[in-house]
Structure 1
Amino acid sequence: MWSRRMLLGAGVVVTALLVLQDAPTRHTRPEPRPESVAVGPAAPRPAIVARKAWRADERLVKERPTQSGPVNAVFVHHTGHSNDYDCADVPRMLREMQRAHVQGEGWDDMGYNFVVDRCGTIYEGRAGSIGRPIHGAHTKGFNAGTIGIAALGTFDAGTKVPPALEAALAKVAAWKLKPGVDARGTVRLVSTNDESLFKKGEAARLHVISGHRDSFHTNCPGDALYGRLPAIRDAVASLRKD
């Protein structure tokens, strides 16, 4: 026979089991995995006249555009044209430049990624440059991971650099430089050939926004425009949100 003490003890055990069975089950949730977030440009895309609008001759293009790495630096050029051009004539001037680059220089297409005129209009140069970082033919030894922006005109010492041209140049640079790059800073680039101021394989410490002369034997982009580069770097930095 069950004693009273044994019966009470059994009741306690049964009650404990029931409580445990009815208790909510605690599940350990795994730590949420961070989702990859697409990083957009550090500045908005400015208005750009596409190649179709200025009627680039796509039959001249020898090879499809090659995608380069993220844009770590910008090289500023001038084109050598007279400065008194009518901005309405720029599309024709660009077509002539494209022919000169392909048929005269032997390049696959126009060398510059973008061209800006004295009225502040921005034009797409080498095909594909609006949508992707495209490998250009603008700065020997340093075309990979950079873009070339050409100011339409000649900007030797004593020449007035049009504010609209300067502002357009800054807008393109601010938009195209990859996020996190200090527009006022420097970048380490490695030369890919022996035709620049640096031997093939040699590392160069250059401004993030450099003039063509910083890496090549040339006066480009002219003393006047080269002297404006510090102000352009400040303008680019002010346009970016990084």
Structure 2
Amino acid sequence: MWLRRTALAAAVVPLALLVFRDAPVRILVPGQAAAKPAAPAAPRPTIVSRSQWHADESLVKERATYTGEVHAVFVHHTGHPNGYDCADVPQMLRAMEEDHVRGEGWDDIGYNFVVDRCGTIYEGRAGGVGRSVRGAHTTGFNAHSVGIAALGDFAPGVPVPKALIEGIAKVGAWKLARGIDPRGTARLVSTNDDSLFQRGQAVHLHVVSGHRDTFETNCPGDALYAQLPVIREEMVRMRAAGR
């Protein structure tokens, strides 16, 4: 979720809480060869690349780091007003990037992917959509996970578009490692005391969780959080169809 406020055109939106300084985890050293990943259980969805939404790559402060296969999906919201025009999303993403880096002093956008209310999927954090890029989306649990942010607020009673649900499910079904049930649980170890769990504490979380499951926040909004069971089932359907 977003904490501080920034203006986009005439709109004022809250900024998302993203923590970049987790404890070290096992990552690939630049130049180190990675094991060839297993084929995904669902096809890669259409993704609008950073070059297509004109991300300012000169803002990115550090090279991406990589973790192993994805065992968990964390769903977020950005806190934007829900009634935006989908044609304005690239501009909104550029404003988000600039604020995260120049306003907050972070390295890059923290979310791996952003999905708008029309169901369009955007590449978030740099490093390659087909790789396991370590994000900065879920304090203590950024390794072996993917952070997917829904563009909007999703307060209680706000309708959650079907296209948005399907977009989140498409990313999750594709990125989640084979053999992992989206309706199941994953054993994860916290790397940061700022999460709801002490550093080094092993916890069992839903494979598809909301940000609030690991941090003191209302993210991804009550309306979207209530749709997580639907997203899980949609992911199962997509993965079964992709076999």
Which TM class, normalised by the smaller chain length?
0.7 to 0.9
C-alpha separation between the residues in 2 aligned to 1:48 and 1:206?
27
The residue number in structure 2 matching 1:90 is: 89
Contact 1:101 1:110 in 2 (8 A): yes
Would the alpha carbon gap of residues 126 and 227 (structure 1) be closer, same or farther in structure 2, given more than 3 Å must change? Answer: same
State yes or no: 1:58 paired with 2:57. yes
Task: Give the structure-1-normalised TM-score.
Answer: 0.83
Would the alpha carbon gap of residues 179 and 58 (structure 1) be closer, same or farther in structure 2, given more than 3 Å must change? Answer: same
Q: Deviations over 1:124-164 (max 9, x none)?
A: 00012412010000000000010100000000110000110
Contact 2:63 2:127 in 1 (8 A): no
Contact 1:107 1:137 in 2 (8 A): no
Aligned with 1:169: secondary structure? helix
Q: Deviations over 1:193-230 (max 9, x none)?
A: 10000000001110000000000000000000000000
Residue 37 of structure 1 deviates from its aligned partner by: 9.3
Q: What letter matches 1:113 in structure 2?
A: N
Structure that is richer in strand per residue: 2
Residue 102 of structure 1 deviates from its aligned partner by: 1.4
Aligned with 2:92: secondary structure? helix
The residue number in structure 1 matching 2:28 is: none
Contact 1:114 1:129 in 2 (8 A): no
The residue number in structure 2 matching 1:198 is: 197
C-alpha separation between the residues in 1 aligned to 2:61 and 2:157?
39
C-alpha separation between the residues in 2 aligned to 1:237 and 1:216?
26
C-alpha separation between the residues in 2 aligned to 1:236 and 1:192?
27
Residue 62 of structure 1 deviates from its aligned partner by: 0.3
State yes or no: 1:136 paired with 2:152. no
Q: Deviations over 1:97-117 (max 9, x none)?
A: 111211233221100000000
Structure that is richer in helix per residue: 1
Q: What letter matches 2:61 in structure 1?
A: K
Residue 67 of structure 1 deviates from its aligned partner by: 1.0
Contact 2:195 2:215 in 1 (8 A): yes
Aligned with 2:51: secondary structure? helix
Equivalent positions of 1:74-85 (< 5 A) are: 74-85=73-84
Q: Which has the larger radius of gyration?
A: 1
The residue number in structure 1 matching 2:145 is: 146
C-alpha separation between the residues in 2 aligned to 1:100 and 1:226?
26
Task: Give the structure-2-normalised TM-score.
Answer: 0.83
C-alpha separation between the residues in 1 aligned to 2:231 and 2:193?
29
Percent identity between the aligned chains?
66
